[in-house]
Structure 1
Amino acid sequence: MAQQYKRILVPIDGSREAELAFKKAVAVTQRNGDDAQLHLLHVVDTRAFQNISSFDTTMVEQVTETAKKTLDKYAAEAKAADIQCEYSIEYGAPKSIIAQDVPKELGTDLIMIGATGLNAVERLLIGSVTEYVTRAAICDVLVVRTDLSNQAISVKDGAAASK
């Protein structure tokens, strides 16, 4: 019998790569049967606010509201495809929350994550979230690098590139 994934986690950060991971996760969830579930996750990196001297909770609220709108849109799209889909918004360090905390809490058996996200500075200085998740996750990880037609995505402009 083929491996079936029942609890699929997709981190969403607003990037084109996260959108591609979501679209592929919808397809994988559909193929894995009626009891497969999709969980979308956005992590508000609270460390980004620590260096702001005039820190105001309204900033976190604004980021949270933007994330909620994005997640609502994706969840509606998944439900329109007849998939069980929920989402959560967490606060803290994205790496450990995505790789360990949420998968442990949800019983995740597959994380589908975009190859790159929005934060280029963090990628240069301390390594990408995706790279960390592939090393430290407590379940299988599928790194999405192509669109639904399996066309490579140009990192430069987010558009499909020819192979």
Structure 2
Amino acid sequence: MYKRILVAIDGSETSEHAFDSALQLARENDAQLQPLYVVDNPLMAYDASGYDPTILRDAFVEEGQRLLADALARMKHENVAGTPRMVDVAPIGEDISERIRITADEFNADLLVLGTHGRRGFKRLFLGSVAERVVRSACCPVLLVPSRQTQTTHVESAKPGHADVAAAMYEMPR
């Protein structure tokens, strides 16, 4: 059984489906849920006059606060324990997938839930690049929630003993 579930959220429709699945699993397993929003630090590839990267970062933080407040309200409504968390990607040498993995380790997650394609869209043929990198480096089962599939299928596939099937599930882009 899962007792500590981390779910990555980014405001995309797919991450909303992932959160729904994680919330249902947490409720059914009486597990602690940690919704996670990762702030990606914008890098400047060149010196642009008048460009202030803090404006973009502040927008990410504001969106994260809104998403995490919504997640917490839904968790309270469903009587699911847990605390949402916002983290920043380290400025040099770290990406979103690495920060998700590190945070899952810190949380001692026994299940990671994320959407196959988030804000960054369809960068890869089958899996989003962040989802793919998380699966490759995760030290616990990963439930990947595709963008167009019923929630029942996600949750049924994520029951203990079916993690390999859940991690392999994805939907071809149409």
User: Hey, what's the Cα distance between the residues in 1 that align with 2:43 and 2:52?
Assistant: 7
Residue in structure 2 matched with residue 66 of structure 1 by the alignment? 63
Q: Is the Cα contact below 8 Å between 2:71 and 2:84 reproduced in 1?
A: no
TM norm structure 2: 0.75
Range moving further from structure 2, 128-137 or 142-151? 142-151
The CA distance in 2 between the partners of 1:90 and 1:29, in whole Å, is 22
| Residue number in structure 1 paired with 2:121 | 120
Partner of 1:79: 76
Q: TM-score, normalised by structure 1?
A: 0.80
* Distance apart, 1:149 and its partner CA: 4.2
Distance 2:36 2:66 in 1: 13
Shift of 1:50: 2.7
DSSP-derived class of the 2:16 partner = helix
Give how far 1:51 is off: 2.9
- Quote the residue 1:104 is aligned against: 105
State the Cα RMSD in Å.
2.3
Which position in structure 1 is the counterpart of 2:32?
A: 37
Q: Is 1:133 aligned with 2:130?
A: no
Q: After TM superposition, what 4+ stretches of structure 1 lie above 4 angstroms from structure 2?
A: 121-124, 151-156
1:123–1:129 CA contact under 8 A, matched in 2: no
- CA distance in 2 between counterparts of 1:128 and 1:31 reads 30
Are the equivalent residues in 1 in contact too, given 2:40–2:57 (CA < 8 A)?
no
Check 1:5–1:98 CA distance in 2 against 1; reply closer, same or farther (3 A cut). Answer: same
Cα 1:155/1:121, change in 2 over 3 Å: closer
Q: How many pairs were matched up?
A: 147
2:122 and 2:28 map into 1 onto residues whose CA distance is: 36
SS in 1 for 2:27: helix
Structure 1: runs of 5+ lacking an equivalent = 157-163
- Shift of residue 121, structure 1, vs aligned partner: 7.1
Measured after TM superposition, the shift of residue 123 of structure 1 is 4.5
The offset of 1:31, in angstroms, is 1.3
Pick from 17, 21, 34: which aligns with 1:20? 17
SS at match of 1:49: coil
Partner of 1:95: 97
Percent sequence identity over aligned pairs: 31
Match of 2:43 among 49, 53, 71: 49
1:84 alignment partner, SS class: coil
